[in-house]
Amino acid sequence: MGRTLTLVRDGCLLRIPLNFPHPRGRPPVASPHVIDVPAALAATQVKYNGEAGRAFVAALPELAAGYLARWELRLDGPSMHGWAALVLPVVRADGTPAALKLQLLDEESEGEPVALRRWDGDGAVRLLDHDPATGTLLLERLDPARTLHHVKDSREAVLVLARLLAGLTATPAPPGLRGLGDIARAMLDRTPWALARIPDPEARRLVADCAAALREVADEPGDRLLHWDLHYENVLASDRAPWLAIDPKPLAGDPGFDLLPALDNRYDPAETRWRFDALTDTLALNRESARAWTLARVLQNLLWNVEDEDPLEQPQLEIAHLLRHA
């Protein structure tokens, strides 16, 4: 891959090829299409990944052109993006709609094709092709205009998400994925440093309680294939199934660690306990273990707040308070 820049972000290793060679070493490909990088994507890449993000953004048009040529793809509409990836709707040579996803190669994106291959389209978007050198994916095309976030009945949306999680986490994690045990130990090691930087005594108590809950389960981290980011906007409609998951950041671990995105997205404190009960019932989880792993996930988010010098997120604190004695 040539010269790379190595950074660490939130415990994840980022390996950025600074020259971003074209797939298979091809020279730039002429294209009638201009691939624009959305300003919001560029801003978040620079904010969170610094020089690596700036290099990634600068290389995106040329990188995309290379994959359009390599995989014989034709652009089929405007680009889409989250904070981490650029997604281009494309059509394959045989006329099949698809989506080209370009992203930084890190520990999260490195595991995405592994998880998608293991699920093989069962409850998740299907992987069509993959370049491990850059983390670029070719995915089946879903309907980005119809996400689970648009389902007005929040309880119906929670139950859909719960059923998806039940199916996805029933799968044993393949070898080589990041393990929840390592992440748990890193969080516990980091907690004293964070506590010393939280001025509010009640917030400190909540963070300490989350860490105490994690200590109760850290020695049994589990071995299921976790999505780790299954919130309502990461569930899209499709023609072959009502709803499918996208954008996994996979881990090997306990399914209880996968519940928080259903609680803190579309957040409603009056619904937190109902949602938690619905999730644990649908996934057939031990309630005490699931409570501990959910508090561990709250701890992870609050540690990130402290590391980024951001205010502690109020919904996280409220969920911790509600679940301490749930």
Spell out the alpha helix ranges (H) of the chain.
Answer: 39-70, 107-119, 154-169, 180-195, 201-217, 260-264, 272-283, 287-307, 314-323
d(CA 151, CA 234): 13
Q: Cα–Cα distances in Å, from 226 out to 49, 67, 108, 229, 230?
A: 25, 29, 12, 9, 9
The contacts found for 273-281 with CB under 8 angstroms, 24 or more apart, are: 273/322, 273/326, 274/155, 275/158, 276/323, 276/326, 278/155, 278/158, 278/159, 278/162, 279/158, 279/162, 279/165, 280/256
| Structure-block tokens of residue 222 | 């589990």
Neighbours of 291 (CB within 10 A): 22
Which amino acid is present at 75? L
229 is catalytic: yes
d(CA 292, CA 294): 5
Phi/psi at 42 (nearest 5 deg)? Answer: -60, -40
d(CA 207, CA 320): 8
| Structure-block tokens of residue 41 | 């994507």
d(CA 106, CA 181): 19
d(CA 205, CA 14): 33
Give the active site residue among 106, 219, 229, 281: 229
Which residues does the annotation mark as catalytic?
A: 229
